[in-house]
Amino acid sequence: MLRRHISLSLILTLLLSIFSLSINQTYAQQVTIISDSVIVRDAPNIGGKVLTEIEKGNTFELIDQQNDWSKIKLNNGTSGWIASWLLETIDNTASANQNNVEKDTELVIEKEKEKVSTSEYVISTVDNLRVRNGPGLDYESLGYMDKNKNYTKVSEQGDWTKIQYNDTTGWAASRYLTASNNNNPQSESVEEPEEKTVTVIVPILNIRQSANTTSDIVGQLKEGEIVQVIQQTDEWLQVKTENKTGWVAAEFTTEKQTAPIEIEQKWVTVNVDSLNIRKQPSTTSEIVGKVTINDILAVNEKQDEWYELVGDQKGWINASFVSETNEQTALSTEKKQVVTATILNVRKEPSLDSPIIGKFIESEQVSVLVEQDKWSKVKTENGTGWVYNEYLVDLSSIEPIEAETITILNEGTNLRSEPSLTGKIVGNASKGTTYQAIKHDRDWYEIKITNGKKAYVASWIVATNLKPKNDQSNPLNGKVIVIDPGHGGDDSGTTGFTGTEEKDLTLKTALALAEKLKQSNAQVILTRKDDRKLTLKYRVSISHHYEADAFVSLHYDSVRDTSVNGVGSFYYNKQKDYPLASAIHKQLITQTKRKDRTAKFGDLHVVRENYQPAALIELGFLSNANEEALVNTSQYQEQAVQAIYDGLVDYFKHS
């Protein structure tokens, strides 16, 4: 009898195990895609080959997981890997046993209560901290965190924290988060949103009828304009202007900053030969600069016996050695100067952080009212504004001749004996120096220098008083070319043996190339014109926004092996990109005589995600001491610019 009882128990246990196993096998774990257009790779890392892209909302069977990657079964029977934070697990087991629904529900409620009581909450320490759909700056923006509002912390990865955001999860930079002292989810109450505004950060931004690039254009906004936001999607903003409502691409806007406290501005004139600028309002404070007699300065209200300077030159001057001057007197003396930059921004105040209120173009004459350190106050169509005076030269130094004149744009520009990069260097010209053009032969100007002799200067490194001719026979005429100087801001790129920073060299090459292309009446767009950091996605979006005929990203390379040298080029799409990369690469090897590292496939964001013809060029190795010295020379820069120019000409001739 006992044996029969034991046998019956074993049989029942076995049957229950089999039944439980069958339930688990029937209900395999499912996952749903929670981000737009997710890439599937053949390996669990970002270097894995791209197999396909899948859209948000699709559901797949989960096969395996490794670290932060999940393997899924695709609809065609194959499998691939996706970053786990782009997925959401679907719990199907609850429907496996309808008799236990109530129990399961009670259990879930108890677990949720436990989770609430033990969850960790974080708050943002800054205004409008961006939330992204992955742990990195290249991931798509989901929105912004409200400062001082509690958010549930889910996990951490590197420098990023995963949080519960609205009805999903997102990632925020950990350095701008801190643990909440009030770990109470009730503090996540919904507040009435404040009116949101954004500022346009591109020269022209189209307003469209609907939130897509194929929709009708119903208006345009200019750089610096501020508009009200009505609603927002992942990549588009519905905005309201004075007379219309429409959609704009969010990538080309930035959150409007809180308006600074207005302080009454005064003007003072320096009454002594030399007056120290001090870091703090004290005679024992560090000296940070000097001003000279008759200088007119913009200052804030006097504090005790000191004036605080207004603008980029921060510091204090002793009020005993200056006299107050009214603005009318300060602005009464003006001089004429000429703009040497392609586009010179006019700002409201003498600071790079001040809003842009207008622009001057290359060779345009301006009336300078006041000079203050690196800034000049100038007349504009609508009043006055401030410009960076490094890009102005005195008109009085230019002889009033009707013939074509040129102005040197860069310090130490080479003057040659022949109109060729191989011509002997016979002198150097200072920035802002103006010459009469005796002859203009394609890429070179013939000029007369101080000793009466003739010399030649490359046309793409000077400004001219004449507009470029609309030469229909030139393949570059009217072409939209986006030049992308790699890196910038706190992203220096690679650094050479002697301290050359890649970001500075790419910008130098890009500015010279832009000038040369403009001589052929190409429409040139630079992704950056100064030292600033840009996301890879933003660089590509510039190419899309302007519908570029060609996108060229400039870089300098680096590897551990310091003997490696040469020039290489990269493309992603054989049909779309290879002709462009190949044409430029061929000219670079021919003209620079550097080692040929070929034009080859590269899984690089700015070419991979680009809908327009795109190429990434590596112009030499800064990790090689000899090549670092070479690429810094004026001769190499001229050769590289000429080669890229000729490569673009060849490309457009055959495209």
Phi, psi of 73 (to 5 degrees): -95, 120
CATH node for 335-396: 2.30.30.40
Q: Which DSSP helix (H) or strand (E) runs through 512?
A: helix 502-519
Specify the range with the lowest mean pLDDT, choosing from 206-215, 230-239, 334-343, 413-422: 334-343
C-alpha 558: how far from chain center? 22
Q: Which residues of 541-566 are buried (b: 16+ CB within 10 A; e: fewer)?
A: bbbbbbebbbbbbbbbbbeeeeeebb
Given a contact cutoff of 8 angstroms between Cβ atoms, the answer to whether 322 and 284 are in contact is no
Conformation bin of residue 593: beta by default, left when phi > 0, alpha when psi is -120 to 50: left
Conformation bin of residue 448: beta by default, left when phi > 0, alpha when psi is -120 to 50: beta
* CA torsion, ordered 68, 73, 74, 80, to nearest 10 deg: 40
Given a contact cutoff of 8 angstroms between Cβ atoms, the answer to whether 352 and 373 are in contact is no
What is the structure's pLDDT at 454?
Answer: 84
Question: Which residues have a Cβ under 8 Å from the Cβ of 182 and sit 6 or more positions away?
Answer: 121, 150
Strand 614-621 versus strand 596-601 pairing type: unpaired
Percentages helix, strand, coil for the chain, rounded to the nearest 5?
25, 40, 40
Winning range, highest mean pLDDT, from 182-186, 254-258, 364-368: 364-368
Euclidean distance between CA atoms 595 and 153, whole angstroms: 52
Q: Which DSSP helix (H) or strand (E) runs through 447?
A: strand 444-448
Strand 523-526 versus strand 480-485 pairing type: parallel
Q: Which DSSP helix (H) or strand (E) runs through 628?
A: helix 625-631
Q: Which residue from 555, 548, 572 is spatially nearest to 655, judged by alpha carbons?
A: 548
Euclidean distance between CA atoms 117 and 604, whole angstroms: 45
Tokens 């029977």 map to which residue? 77
* 61-102 tens-digit pLDDT: 888 888 677 898 888 888 888 877 777 777 554 444 444 444
Averaged confidence pLDDT in the chain: 78
Given a contact cutoff of 8 angstroms between Cβ atoms, the answer to whether 450 and 467 are in contact is no
Q: Which residue from 195, 143, 192 is spatially nearest to 165, judged by alpha carbons?
A: 143
Report, as an integer, the average pLDDT of 239-254. 82
What is the structure's pLDDT at 273?
Answer: 81
What is the structure's pLDDT at 566?
Answer: 95
What DSSP line would sit under 214-273, residue for residue?
TSPEEEEEETT-EEEEEEE-SSEEEEE-SS-EEEEEGGGEEEPPPPPPP--EEEEEE-SS
Q: Which DSSP helix (H) or strand (E) runs through 7?
A: helix 2-26
Q: How many CA atoms lie within 13 A of 480 on its CB side?
A: 11
How far does the chain reach from its first CA to its final CA, in angstroms?
Answer: 93
Euclidean distance between CA atoms 620 and 199, whole angstroms: 38
Answer yes or no: is pLDDT of 579 > 90: yes
Answering whether pTM is above 0.75, one says no
Euclidean distance between CA atoms 434 and 439, whole angstroms: 15
Euclidean distance between CA atoms 323 and 275, whole angstroms: 13
CATH number of the domain at 25-118, out of 3.40.50.12780, 2.30.30.40, 2.40.50.140, 3.40.50.300?
Answer: 2.30.30.40
* 304-333 tens-digit pLDDT: 788 888 765 678 889 888 888 765 555 555
Q: Which DSSP helix (H) or strand (E) runs through 30?
A: strand 30-33
Q: Which CATH architecture has domain 480-653?
A: 3-Layer(aba) Sandwich (3.40)
Pick the more confident residue, 619 or 62: 619
Specify the range with the lowest mean pLDDT, choosing from 381-385, 507-511, 529-533, 643-647: 381-385
Domain boundaries, the chain: 25-118, 119-187, 196-255, 265-330, 335-396, 398-464, 480-653
Pick the more confident residue, 248 or 118: 248
What would the two tokens of residue 394 be? 């005195």
Specify the range with the lowest mean pLDDT, choosing from 2-11, 86-95, 140-149: 2-11
Q: Which DSSP helix (H) or strand (E) runs through 80?
A: strand 79-83
Strand 365-372 versus strand 375-380 pairing type: antiparallel
Strand residue runs (E) in 501-624: 523-526, 550-557, 567-571, 596-601, 614-621
What is the structure's pLDDT at 395?
Answer: 60
Specify the range with the lowest mean pLDDT, choosing from 187-191, 286-290, 553-557, 640-644: 187-191
What is the structure's pLDDT at 574?
Answer: 92
Q: Which residue from 303, 305, 296 is spatially nearest to 325, judged by alpha carbons?
A: 296
Answer yes or no: is pLDDT of 349 > 80: yes
> Do the domains at 25-118 and 265-330 have one common CATH topology?
yes
Q: Which residue from 130, 182, 216 is spatially nearest to 535, judged by alpha carbons?
A: 130
CATH topology of domain 119-187: SH3 type barrels. (2.30.30)
What is the structure's pLDDT at 104?
Answer: 47
Q: Which CATH architecture has domain 398-464?
A: Roll (2.30)
What is the structure's pLDDT at 440?
Answer: 74
User: By percentage, how much of the chain surpasses pLDDT 90?
Assistant: 20
Euclidean distance between CA atoms 291 and 301, whole angstroms: 19
Euclidean distance between CA atoms 184 and 150, whole angstroms: 8
Phi, psi of 424 (to 5 degrees): -65, 135
CATH topology of domain 196-255: SH3 type barrels. (2.30.30)
What would the two tokens of residue 298 be? 């913009």
Report, as an integer, the average pLDDT of 129-156. 79
Euclidean distance between CA atoms 458 and 438, whole angstroms: 14
Winning range, highest mean pLDDT, from 294-298, 448-452, 494-498: 494-498
What is the structure's pLDDT at 511?
Answer: 92
Pick the more confident residue, 163 or 313: 163
What is the structure's pLDDT at 262?
Answer: 39
Euclidean distance between CA atoms 337 and 145, whole angstroms: 47
Euclidean distance between CA atoms 15 and 488, whole angstroms: 67
CATH number of the domain at 265-330, out of 1.20.1070.10, 3.30.565.10, 2.30.30.40, 3.40.1390.10?
Answer: 2.30.30.40
Q: Which residue from 274, 284, 280 is spatially nearest to 308, judged by alpha carbons?
A: 280
Answer yes or no: is pLDDT of 25 > 50: no
Using CA atoms, how far residue 71 sits from 29, 75, 134, 354, 623, in Å, is 12, 13, 18, 49, 39
Given a contact cutoff of 8 angstroms between Cβ atoms, the answer to whether 150 and 121 are in contact is yes
Specify the range with the lowest mean pLDDT, choosing from 347-356, 592-601, 624-633: 347-356
Report, as an integer, the average pLDDT of 610-614. 95
Pick the more confident residue, 106 or 336: 336
Q: Which residue from 371, 396, 406 is spatially nearest to 386, judged by alpha carbons?
A: 371
Specify the range with the lowest mean pLDDT, choosing from 118-122, 303-307, 400-404, 588-592: 400-404
Report, as an integer, the average pLDDT of 235-262. 71
Using CA atoms, how far residue 303 sits from 69, 282, 300, 306, 309, in Å, is 60, 11, 9, 5, 12
What is the structure's pLDDT at 425?
Answer: 84
Euclidean distance between CA atoms 303 and 533, whole angstroms: 37
Answer yes or no: is pLDDT of 552 > 90: yes
Q: Which DSSP helix (H) or strand (E) runs through 312?
A: none
